[in-house]
Each structure stands twice: as C-alpha cells, then as structure tokens.
Structure 1
Amino acid sequence: MAPPARPSCPGRHPGSLFDAAVGVRVPDGTPSPNKPVEARTHFRRGDRSLALRTLGGYVAELLGTGNMHGACVAAVEFVNMMAKLDRPGEAARVLDYLDASGLLDAPAWASQVAEVRAGLGDLPRPAPALDDQGALEYMRQVLRQLGGAQSTPAGPVAGPLPDEPAEGSPQAEGSPQPGTVRSE
C-alpha cells in the first residue's frame, strides 16, 4: 500500500518557503543562492527597484570574487525579471546563455523559465552565446542601467551609464557587447 499523499501546503504561496529560507544567515563568503531568491521575493512583492539592486549586488559579488558557479542561478532570476519588465531582448540574450550552459537540461531548472521561453517565441537571437563571465557582465550592465533609471508613470527609463557611450555614438561603434567573442 502506498503512503498517503502529502498536502502541498494548502493556503501558502509556493514562494513562501523560499521567502523564509532567505532569512537564514550564512557566513560571508559562503556560496549561497539566498541573494537571487531574496531578489525574487522583493520583485514578487512589488519592490522592483530593491529586487534589481539585490540581484545586481549578487552579480557584482560573483564577478568580484571570480565565482562563476552562481551565474546560472542569477541568470534564471534575471530572465524572469526582464520578461516581467517587458525587456524581451535582455531576457532572450541570457536565456540563450542558460541554454548553452546546459543548466536547462535539468527539468527543475527548465521549468523556472518555461513561461518566459514560451512568451519569447521566435524572437531573433544574437550570436554567439555568452559564457559565464560574459553573462554576468551583461547582467551587471543591464541591472545598473535599470537600477539607476529615472521612474516615470509608465515604469523605468533606462539609458546609457554615465561612463558608457550612448548606443550609436562614435565611441560605441565597433565595441563588442560584454561577453561576446570577436571572430577575426
């Protein structure tokens, strides 16, 4: 006889267990997915600015320490946030990285971006795919732009960072996107 089915936490939001988990303190320098999960929680609760800053801080930390192992976890949250912010190009760019990384071969990870993938459809994709470092640099650039954006009634307005040339300017011409590989 099979054991009785366990209830799926009736009355609780599926993310509530993650919300509780991010409250568990881990020692500084310990690899942990807490920051991306914390960013997801802030985003789900409507504090998009804090969510973007939290995820941006995690990405900066990974780049600063050279820890590329957390790139995929950050990328999953990034893809979902960009899709909800109606930024399909940014979502698609990092979704391509996740596809190339092999992470999405695991059904548990693939399910976390399935809705975004379905919504993107046949959106043209840039090539080549980003590597771990390139994906983190790309996410940092986009998150900095969005985190430093001015708010309007319609939402954030992104523009070039103060230390970056505007797209189409002579300084920007010929400059590769972060993490792309030049073919000679």
Structure 2
Amino acid sequence: MTLRLDTARLVLRPVEEDDLDVLLAIRNAPAVVATTSTGAPLPRERMAGQLARRCASWREHAYGSWLVLLDGEPVAFVEVAPIGEGSGVDPDAIEIGVVVHPDHWGKGFALEAGLAAARDLFERKELDRVYAGVDPSNVKSLRALAKTPGVRQLDDELFELTPEALLG
C-alpha cells in the first residue's frame, strides 16, 4: 500500500524519481522564481539532485517531500527535510516548505498541504515540532503562516509548529 495523505481538497503522495519535470514546472514558474532568494530558475541538474535526495529520504527515513495533487493534477509540492546548519535550532530538526504553482495561489493550498505534512510527521513519525523558514519579503507565505493556529515565530525568518498547536 502506497502512503498518501488526503485533505478536504488535496491528495499528497511521496515524490518519485519521474516527478522531475513536474517539480521543475512548479518551482520555475516565473512568479515562483520571483519569490526565491536567488531570483533565478533552478537548473534541471540541481533539481534532479534534490529529487534524488528526497526519494532517498523516503527509503531511508520513511519521510520526505510530497507531491500535492488537486483532482489528480499536480499543483504544488511540500519539501520535508532536515533544516541544516545556521538556523539556530538543531540542524537535524525537520523543516517544511510548500511551493505552489502560481495558477493555484490564493486558494489556501499551501496551508492545507503544509498542515497535512506536519500532522503526518507528528502522528506517524512522532516528532514534537517542525519548522518553516520564510523570507520576510514573502508576503503570501507569511499570510498563510498567520492563519496557522499556534505557530510561534522564533526570529525574522523561522517559525515553529508543535502538535499542540494543531489541536488548539
């Protein structure tokens, strides 16, 4: 049985090796590129490396990034990976980030998919917190986080979510 998460409107499934073109289409949509720190499209080779690591994470840790589907069509992806050095928290702590294709902005998909991925990590992997890093200029993401119950802002760019926050 394949792992999948169902929300009110969306289905999340683990990313797969053959999702490269879909992920690139979402990540390199011009409006998405404009929200990135580099302001440049992600090269195919770099996305291929990221996808390989995401798929390996599923095999090795039973968690990883999700492809988000609406009526069977990809609309977003949820990145789930260790936060790494320089965040001010444990570098092995898990960070969640959602990238939505601009055709689907403003519909609440980022929040819906991100919370589904967080709930999965809390329930299935028994994590006690997850993080989201958001550039202070990314108004849309900040607006989505503001709607999330119990999210705690740790600094200008880092937010924390606990299982208790989802219950309250």
TM-score relative to the length of structure 2? 0.29
TM-score relative to the length of structure 1? 0.27
Q: Which structure would you say has the larger Rg?
A: 1
Answer 1 or 2: which has greater strand percent.
Answer: 2
